[in-house]
Chains A and B, each alone.
Chain A
Amino acid sequence: MPQPGPPGQKTSLLVLEGMGFRVGQALGERLPREMLAFREELDVLKFLCKDLWGAVFQKQMDSLRTNHQGTYVLQDSSFPLLVRMGSGLQYLEEAPKFLAFTCGLLRGTLSTLGIKSLVTASVAALPACKFQVVIQRS
């Protein structure tokens, strides 16, 4: 069992992210429609923002930005897992724990659709959060 305190917390977050990754892999297989619809990376990201978010959280991502060089920022102004916790700056430290699974979810879905990535999340003020997706090109 992971120990309490900072080293244990890091392991726990890794475990959560891993679980999210596996679920994302399965969703990446089940959600895309009966067409080979993804012509390019941006289409896959749009799929994440609309279909994946819609299926898991019953809402769509609020904004998607990119620098066209492999980095995408997905913003959700009212993330369902954080909405109940409060609004504003309270619980800012605890918020990342609730985002680890979702980062894994995004990374797993991207991986099934053929894209290797690194996903991190940041919270400036609850319940708005940002997910940053960096595509790994080898």
Chain B
Amino acid sequence: MAVCVAVIAKENYPLYIRSVPTENELKFHYMVHTSLDVVDEKISAMGKALVDQRELYLGLLYPTEDYKKRYGYVTNSKVKFVMVVDSSNTALRDNEIRSMFRKLHNSYTDVMCNPFYNPGDRIQSSRAFDSMVTSMMIQVC
């Protein structure tokens, strides 16, 4: 279960960021912000490698941290998803993280196709997106 989910535009500003409300939210915003450097590094590393298949899923961003893990995912339109996961509860397998990102990507695509949504705006009026993110986050209280 995630503690924080963020959608970052290709110009590196947040389109959507939501965290579990009990803790200091600014800490999560800061964690997402610092993860962006790692995401950019992975993207440029992928660009240089002569691999045929390049994945959208970026995997674990900071291999040394073991309390709150962060995972990254980038779409073809260079929109990035960053997820902070609390690993003290259950050890989440890679497959589960991938399926969470896939759901995020599908919901984001639906928001993009909404003619009332202007690309580049904050995602704030989509109930479907909100409820999808709620289903992914830890149930506190």
Tell me how far the C-beta of B80 lies from the nearest C-beta in chain A, rounded to whole angstroms: 12
CB pair A37–B112 under 8 Å, yes or no, is: no
User: Which residues on the A side are within 8 Å of B108 (C-beta)?
Assistant: 29
Name A residues whose Cβ lies closer than 8 Å to a Cβ of B.
22, 25-26, 28-30, 32, 34-39, 112-114
CB pair B115–A36 under 8 Å, yes or no, is: no
**Cα–Cα, bound, A113→B109 (Å):** 13
**B112 CB contact (under 8 Å) in A25, A38, A113, A114:** A25
Highest count of chain A CB atoms <10 Å: which of B56, B77, B109: B77
**B54 CB contact (under 8 Å) in A22, A28, A35, A113:** A35
**A112 CB contact (under 8 Å) in B54, B56, B77:** B77
User: Which residues on the B side are within 8 Å of A38 (C-beta)?
Assistant: 76
CB pair B56–A29 under 8 Å, yes or no, is: no
User: Which residues on the A side are within 8 Å of B68 (C-beta)?
Assistant: none
**A36 CB contact (under 8 Å) in B46, B109, B113, B119:** B46
Interface size class of B (residues with CB under 8 A): 10 to 19
Name B residues whose Cβ lies closer than 8 Å to a Cβ of A.
10, 46-47, 53-56, 74-78, 108-109, 112-113, 115, 119
CB pair A29–B54 under 8 Å, yes or no, is: no
Q: A26-B113, A30-B109, A36-B46 are in contact. Are A114 and B77 (CB under 8 A)?
A: yes
**Cα–Cα, bound, A79→B25 (Å):** 53
29 contacts between A and B (CB under 8 A): A22-B115, A25-B112, A26-B112, A28-B76, A28-B77, A29-B75, A29-B76, A29-B77, A29-B108, A29-B113, A30-B112, A30-B113, A32-B76, A34-B56, A35-B53, A35-B54, A35-B55, A35-B56, A36-B46, A36-B54, A36-B74, A36-B76, A37-B54, A37-B76, A38-B76, A39-B54, A112-B77, A112-B119, A113-B77
Tell me how far the C-beta of A96 lies from the nearest C-beta in chain B, rounded to whole angstroms: 25
Which residue on chain A has the smallest CB distance to residue B110?
A30
Tell me how far the C-beta of B53 lies from the nearest C-beta in chain A, rounded to whole angstroms: 6
**Cα–Cα, bound, A34→B113 (Å):** 18
**B78 CB contact (under 8 Å) in A30, A34, A37, A114:** A114
Q: A29-B108, A39-B54 are in contact. List 12 more A-B contacts (CB 8 A).
A: A25-B119, A28-B76, A28-B77, A34-B56, A35-B53, A35-B55, A36-B46, A36-B55, A36-B56, A36-B76, A37-B54, A114-B10
